[in-house]
Structure formats: C-alpha cells, structure tokens
Structure 1
Amino acid sequence: MVRTSDNCWKVNWKPILSVTVSQYMVQSSEAVTSARAMDEVTMKCLWDFVWATPCKEYGPTSCKRKAENPAEWAGFMIHSMLLLLYLVSMICLLHYDKALQITWADITFQVKDKLKLPFRKTHQYRGIAPFYIYADEQCPWMCLVQTFAVWWMLARERCKNLDGFIFQKKIGTDSVSVNLTDGMTSNAFLKCFHNKLLDIGVDLHPYGTHSFRRGGCQFLYKVCRWDIRDICDWGGWAENFDNPGIIFKYLPSWNNNPWEKPMKDPCHACGRTCH
C-alpha cells in the first residue's frame, strides 16, 4: 500500500507474504518467505521522524481532512508509543503480539537508567527470567530506557495511577483510550506500522510480523557483537545451548544480505578489517 501524488492509496498485494499463504506453505512443507529484518538505519529514521513530529493538540478530524492529509494520521504521543513498541519487540526479541500484552505491572524501576521487564519468550515453560535494560546515550534511537521514559511521562499526564496495558488502543489522531484495559490490537499495530514505513519512505512489502525479532537478533550479532550463545540465552530460545539451530533462521535472509558479517576489529599491523 503506497501513497500516490493525488493523496490516494494504492494497494499492491504480494501473495507470498500473505498469512494465509504462509500457513498453507508451512503445512505443505514449503519454504516460507522470510520477513526483512528491521535494521538500525531504519530505526534511526523512525526515531528522527518522532522527534520531528510537532507536539500539538488535535481536534476531531473529518473524513475530508483525512483524505487531504493522509500523512497526518498520528501525532507525537502515538508516534512515541509506537516507537517504544518497536524497540521492545526488537531489543527483547519478542514477537509483536507478545509485546502488546505487556502491562504496567510487568515493569519494575530499580535504579537510575535501569529497567526490569519480566516478560520473555520462555515464560510459559519455566520461571520468568527478567530483562535488565540499561540506557545508551551513544545510540538513543536504539535505547529502550529513554524511549520508555518519554512514553511514561506522556501516559502519566493522562492518568496518574497507571494500570493495564502499556500499549493502548489508539483513539483519533493523537490520543489513546481512557480505559487502560483497552490494549492495541494486532491489526491496529500492523496498520500503524505500515503507515510509519510510508512516512519515512520505506517499502513496506518486505516487512512482516517477525521483522523486529529478526532485526533484534541481527543487531545484537552484527552491531553489538554478541556471541550466538548469549543471544540464545537472552531470547530464551535454547536453554543450555542444546538447540542452537533455531536462531539461525533469524540471522540469514534473502531479504537482507546473507553474507554480511559483523565488522572485525582493525588489524594492529595493517589497519584492515578483513574477515
């Protein structure tokens, strides 16, 4: 779905990325198209877009105004909440529908610039191993703590006693439901995600529901230089590293560069970074 010059929407369907087709291919033992991983460059564009969004009051929006201004589908508050949702899914290696289930009760503030999130993929099998998230001033567009602090302040302005879902139902252009038990739905998330990609001029077709978790694995491996064993332990995929093969489906993808490797430290003799 792309915006045209006359402010209309044009829908281009790619059946290979359809949920129905993907389920059929799984049942038929066919290879399913991998979603393109969300990378740091795209996340920075999303981060820049949020802070370039003016913080203003939005009144009722008529259908005519929506048609004339399709890019004005959300304001600073909604963009901030969505950015936090993207970062939680990516950094904590969560599927987006799991991230949508996080409530304020799942968050524990312990010390300065430290966030404890007791929610991860393996919680249904054993005791919950919490995430410990720290601030990163060098890379704010990938920092979960700072983005969470912004959304926490915005949410506190609406309700002092926070309860219920962190990612709330979108109401209008730049507001959320007053009922904190009204969480954002999966369909609403995908619609907002597609709109965000259109806002920054990125083709939405290669991206899917696993883009953030796949991107998180590649970010930890290629940028942060984590060991694969540490990524498995962080994501909760393979206890005691007894089944590491599952993570490799998140690292290579024809939608990304499968031969791209993490940058090595420069050689002390020649200064090169050969692999």
Structure 2
Amino acid sequence: MRAAATFGFGRVHGLGMLAWHRSEVSGKMLGNPSVSETLTSYMLSLRCRKTLKGEISLSAHAVTSVSLVMFIVPMCNLCALISQLYNYNNQPVFQEPQAYKPSARNVPKEPDGWGGTRSRTECNLGYCLFFCGLLWVDELLKIQVHDIELETNPETGLVITLTLHLPFCKTSQFGEIKPFVFHVMPDQYAHLCVVRAYLRWILVSGITEGYVFRKMCANDRIAEENEPMTSEQFLEMFRNNLVDVGVDPLPYG
C-alpha cells in the first residue's frame, strides 16, 4: 500500500520523492506525503506490534505451494531443454573434432552445419554454468582458466569437484564474491554436470590458459589469440542449437 501511495504521489501527481516537510519560506507542506518521518515511524511500530502478536511476515506468507510451483515448473522445463540440447550435441557425429577443410562459397550448408564438436562442447559447458550457477552472459564469458580449481579423488585420481572463483559478478561489484563449488553429478544428470562439461571442453579445445570461452571462427576453429567469445556469438550459437532440436528461438531473445 505504501509503495503504491509513494508512486501515486511521486509520479502521477508529480510530487517527486522528496521527504514530506514544511517549507521554511512559504510555510506550506512540500514533497511526497508518503515519504515522511511520521509515516515511517508508524510503519516500523506496526511491524513490531504484528511480530509481538505472532503474525508471520508477508514475505514468509508468500512462499506457498503455488509460488513454489511457479518457480519449479519453468526450471524443470529449462532442465528438459538442456537435456535435449546435450543429447543432440553428443551424437556420435559430434564426438571427434574434424580436421580443417576450407569450405566452398555459395554452397548451402546442412541445417546443423553451424557448429561442430568444439562449438557444441563449448555450448554444453555454457548451459551447465548458466543453469547451475545462475550466471549472466557477461559473467560467464569473463571466466579464465586460472579462475577454476579442480579437486581430485586421492584414491582414484578422478576429478570430483570444480571450484569457480568468479572474477566479476553484477550483484557483487565491490568484491567478496563467494566461490561456486560444483561436484560431479550421477550419469542421469550428465547434461547438468559442470565438472564433466569443463573437462570435456578442455580436452576438445586444448586450452590451458586464458579465457575459457574463446571466440569461434569458421569451420569450427578456435581463435588462436586469447580473445573471449562475445555475447552476440554465444547467443547466436544458442539460437542455432535451439533450431537443431525443433525449438523456436524467438522467446529466448
């Protein structure tokens, strides 16, 4: 209610966001009536009285089964989509990188000819980090090899944990970014496993330093210089990948 009143007085009636006060010159009341010390004190005391009576805050009430379903259903749909993309990108034809072959001009390509093993493996890693780390595109593409630590099982020597120290985070622009720790997932969740996707990408790309997500060139070649992939190129690859599995890319930007 107070937020609506603040908006109404400030935007609709053009009173702005200045605190409600009496002018020393004219003696008239100026500013936004909803932004006043009296109202602020009242709202704080009202919250305290409600808490003493045992009432639960509105934010806690909001976490109901309905709101959980509204959150879980889209996430399940996204998980299913990532599984589709993973299965398509891991077909036998895309398992081994192909040797470079100059392509002839003005020759139509196959519908899935936009990317080979390297491009699709890079996409798979991006999808896993997007889903499991809830990262933005800009955060994803700034990751470098030295930002990642791998922990192995001392008995088997297999990698079991990947720790990501994000160099940049839009929600923590002043540092203190806590590391992301990803563990190896079971086979049924291979399409979401960051550890598997990263190891596969390092094996296919041969990258040992610099940016993890490199700019891709024609014929599925990785740029020789240490140049990160642009968000435009990644989104274009994502759209092409959606077309591969028969999904309209328009709703995804």
Asked if residue 87 in structure 1 is aligned to residue 128 in structure 2, the reply is yes
Residue 116 of structure 1 is matched in structure 2 by 163
TM-superposed CA distance for 1:122, in Å, is: 3.7
1:113-140: CA deviation from partner (whole Å, max 9, x where unpaired): 1000011554423412001100111311
Residue 249 of structure 2 is matched in structure 1 by 204
Superposed CA RMSD in Å reads: 1.8
Aligned partner of residue 110 in structure 1, secondary structure? strand
Matches within 5 A, 1:24-43: 39-43=78-82
Is the Cα–Cα contact under 8 Å of residues 141 and 230 in structure 2 kept in the other structure? yes
Matches within 5 A, 1:119-198: 119=166, 120-137=169-186, 138-156=188-206, 162-179=208-225, 181-198=226-243
Question: TM-score, length-normalised on structure 2?
Answer: 0.61
Distance 1:105 1:84 in 2: 17
Asked if residue 51 in structure 1 is aligned to residue 101 in structure 2, the reply is no
Aligned partner of residue 206 in structure 1, secondary structure? helix
Aligned partner of residue 182 in structure 2, secondary structure? strand
Distance 1:68 1:47 in 2: 22
- Residues 81 and 68 (structure 1 numbering): CA distance in 2 closer, same or farther, change over 3 Å? closer
Is the Cα–Cα contact under 8 Å of residues 89 and 95 in structure 1 kept in the other structure? yes
Distance 2:109 2:177 in 1: 48
Residue 61 of structure 1 is matched in structure 2 by 103
Is the Cα–Cα contact under 8 Å of residues 125 and 194 in structure 2 kept in the other structure? yes
Is the Cα–Cα contact under 8 Å of residues 86 and 191 in structure 2 kept in the other structure? yes
Asked if residue 96 in structure 1 is aligned to residue 142 in structure 2, the reply is no
Asked if residue 105 in structure 1 is aligned to residue 155 in structure 2, the reply is no
TM-superposed CA distance for 1:191, in Å, is: 1.0
Distance 1:70 1:199 in 2: 7
1:89-133: CA deviation from partner (whole Å, max 9, x where unpaired): 221011112101111111111233100001155442341200110
TM-superposed CA distance for 1:189, in Å, is: 1.1
Question: TM-score, length-normalised on structure 1?
Answer: 0.57
1:225-252: CA deviation from partner (whole Å, max 9, x where unpaired): xxxxxxxxxxxxxxxxxxxxxxxxxxxx
Paired letter, 2:184: A
Matches within 5 A, 1:206-245: 206-208=251-253
1:145-197: CA deviation from partner (whole Å, max 9, x where unpaired): 111110111222xx5xx221100010112110111x21101111111111111
Paired letter, 2:243: L
Aligned partner of residue 99 in structure 1, secondary structure? helix
**Greater Rg over alpha carbons, structure:** 2
Higher relative contact order (CA 8 A, sep 6+): 1
TM-superposed CA distance for 1:62, in Å, is: 2.2
Distance 2:128 2:109 in 1: 31
Aligned partner of residue 173 in structure 1, secondary structure? helix
Higher helix share: 2
Gaps of 5+ in 1: 1-35, 209-275
Distance 1:121 1:106 in 2: 17
Paired letter, 1:169: K
- Residues 155 and 123 (structure 1 numbering): CA distance in 2 closer, same or farther, change over 3 Å? farther
